[in-house]
Structure 1
């Protein structure tokens, strides 16, 4: 019997989990934005974009997981996305807590060829300056939860990428 990490690296369960988690996270963000009136800042929009990127990779993983070379590429790209998500989450927490100096502009900084803030402003347009995130539960802020979640997902993604590279083709 193969170790769990190898089975996860070769199967569709991971991709399905990432897709469902991404949908849930985007839904929570939109709930906080539209029902609780916590507008997103530029860093929050960046986090949403990277979650959307992992969701796209998850869809591709579900559709193309039977091709070993594509699987390896997707696991590698997913690890890169998770690493960038860790960086964005760290920056968001740092600005919130004050250990990273800086402020955000109201421009998402997206190129014209990917102007999601103009094409889909309901989801990707910044409303607020950076500096705080709402409390989720038990005194844990959204920035803290995002950092812990992205670190865990990044670690699992890196392990799966390593396992997919180690695995024999097939």
Structure 2
């Protein structure tokens, strides 16, 4: 089973699926912001930044997937970004549901070397306070709940992929 996952992990298709997923998620966020007029809070902006990190790491994975070290590094980077995605999604859900005390500012506190809110304010500038996310499926599933499920599935999937990439493959694999 792990060998089959490792082969899939080395395929361009796997990495292209991750890239498309990230583009779809970023696009959906922008549709909610600009078509449905739901302004992003600082937590939403952080989630967008983590998804951008997953996208960049996935592009790296697409390029380096044929080298074992490159594949391991790419899997690790996507996993780390996915864990950031999980943490921000949990904080968003906790703030929305009231099980975490959610006081958030309008300052995204990006480091100066990665000032996404200055470089691309139309995507990474928080415009509202935390505490509410729109419905994805009306009265059933909020965006915070959707992001929580998606982020956990992605992190667990990437953990499995990292484990599969650490095993020595049976077929030929370049170092």
TM-score (normalised: structure 1): 0.95
Q: Which residue of 2 aligns with 1:114?
A: 114
Query: Which is worse superposed, 57-66 or 87-96?
Result: 57-66
Q: Which residue of 1 aligns with 2:167?
A: 166
Distance 1:157 1:89 in 2: 17
1:49 and 2:35 aligned: no
> Given that residues 2 and 164 in structure 2 are in contact (C-alpha distance below 8 angstroms), is that contact kept between their aligned partners in structure 1?
no
> Given that residues 42 and 130 in structure 1 are in contact (C-alpha distance below 8 angstroms), is that contact kept between their aligned partners in structure 2?
yes
Name structure 1 gaps, 5 residues minimum.
none
Deviations 1:4-34 (A, max 9, x none): 3122222222211110000001111000000
Q: Which residue of 2 aligns with 1:87?
A: 87
CA-based RMSD: 1.4
> Given that residues 47 and 85 in structure 1 are in contact (C-alpha distance below 8 angstroms), is that contact kept between their aligned partners in structure 2?
yes
Q: Which residue of 2 aligns with 1:66?
A: 66
Distance 1:143 1:91 in 2: 9
> Given that residues 15 and 59 in structure 2 are in contact (C-alpha distance below 8 angstroms), is that contact kept between their aligned partners in structure 1?
yes
Q: Which residue of 1 aligns with 2:142?
A: 141
4+ runs deviating over 6 angstroms: none
TM-score (normalised: structure 2): 0.92
Superposition deviation, residue 75 in structure 1: 0.6
